[in-house]
Amino acid sequence: MPLPDMEVDAGIIAETAYAKVNVALHVRARRDDGYHALESLFVFADHGDHIVASENEDGAIDLAIDGPFGEGLDAGPSNLVMRAARALQSYLGTERGAALRLTKRLPVASGIGGGSADAAATLRLLARLWDARIGQDELAALALDLGSDVPACLDSVTQMVTGRGEGLTRHSVDGLEGMPMLLVNPGVGVSTAAVFAGWDGQDRGALDASSLDALIGRGRNDLEPPARAIAPVIGDVLAVLGEAPGVRLARMSGSGATCFALFDNPARMAAAASLCRAHPGWWVMETGVRGV
């Protein structure tokens, strides 16, 4: 189970950076600013990366990284956790510092918002550590500067997301929250910019998120074809998940390469997880759709 967002030791606070999943992602248009106008239903998993923070008396911001996907990850100024911390520190004009530790449990560059969730969790964590007086709108603006998916990750609840990622509306779908959800990554990272650049420019219509049936039957991920062209192994994951007994939906998340599958019961999910673990190099996580 993820760590609860609470005091874990004197002066040390913790947050979970929940994995994000796009149940459907419709690309509607290419914008003049180089981004794409999207319509997407975001849900969050019950699991994610972990971040802990404590006060750094000298005012510096330090980052240490561990965890199964921590190796080789840059802990310098380009890391989204560092960028989020520095952005908040400078916005607040505070001299207070922080010692941060990121436990990286989610694969990087994988379409489930690992870096975005880390940035959002850092903003939440440091706003608490520094007793910041900052409104939700100000925090959302800082978040959008860090990346398109970061504002949605601030709340980590089911949301309809429009525009580049700034249009956020809480949205609940009967039967979706609490569903067992399997995440599978074939061990390849794909570049978000490269996948968007491969979109064919064809608007295939609006997203109907009024029910689970509509999301399953008429929802799409328009980034699946360009992602599969870059990493054909995504098709292998989708084939295994799509044929798993009891699967309700198998689809790619975000710009890939992580795919997800929704099930009605945990035993079916566990059986599908075993099938996936038989493939060397595939990363498999059994989780669920996070409720509010």
Closest approach, Cβ 196 to ligand C5P, in A, equals 4
Q: Which is nearer to ligand C5P, 2 or 226 (CB)?
A: 226
Smallest Cα–Cα separation from 257: which of 190, 192, 196?
A: 190
Report the C-alpha gap between 266 and 109 in whole angstroms. Answer: 27
Q: Contact residues for ligand C5P (CB under 6 A)?
A: 35-36, 38, 147-149, 164-165, 192-193, 196
Q: Which is nearer to ligand C5P, 31 or 277 (CB)?
A: 31
Residue ranges of the binding site for ATP = 107-117
Q: How far is CA 55 from the centre of its chain?
A: 27
Closest approach, Cβ 31 to ligand C5P, in A, equals 8
With beta carbons less than 8 A apart as the criterion, state whether 74 and 113 touch: no
Report the C-alpha gap between 292 and 282 in whole angstroms. Answer: 30
Closest approach, Cβ 36 to ligand C5P, in A, equals 4
Residue 180 parent element (H or E): strand 180-185
Peptide bond into 250 cis (omega under 30): no
Q: Which is nearer to ligand C5P, 83 or 128 (CB)?
A: 83
Catalytic-role residue among 46, 149, 155, 222:
149
Is 149 annotated as catalytic? Answer: yes
CA distances, 113 to each of 55, 98, 129, 146, 235 (Å): 27, 23, 24, 12, 21
Is 104 annotated as catalytic? Answer: no
Contacts of 283 (CB under 8 A, 6+ apart): 107, 183, 184, 185, 187
Q: Which is nearer to ligand C5P, 114 or 219 (CB)?
A: 114
Q: How many C-beta atoms lie closer than 10 Å to residue 103's C-beta?
A: 20
Closest approach, Cβ 207 to ligand C5P, in A, equals 14
Catalytically active residues, by annotation: 20, 149
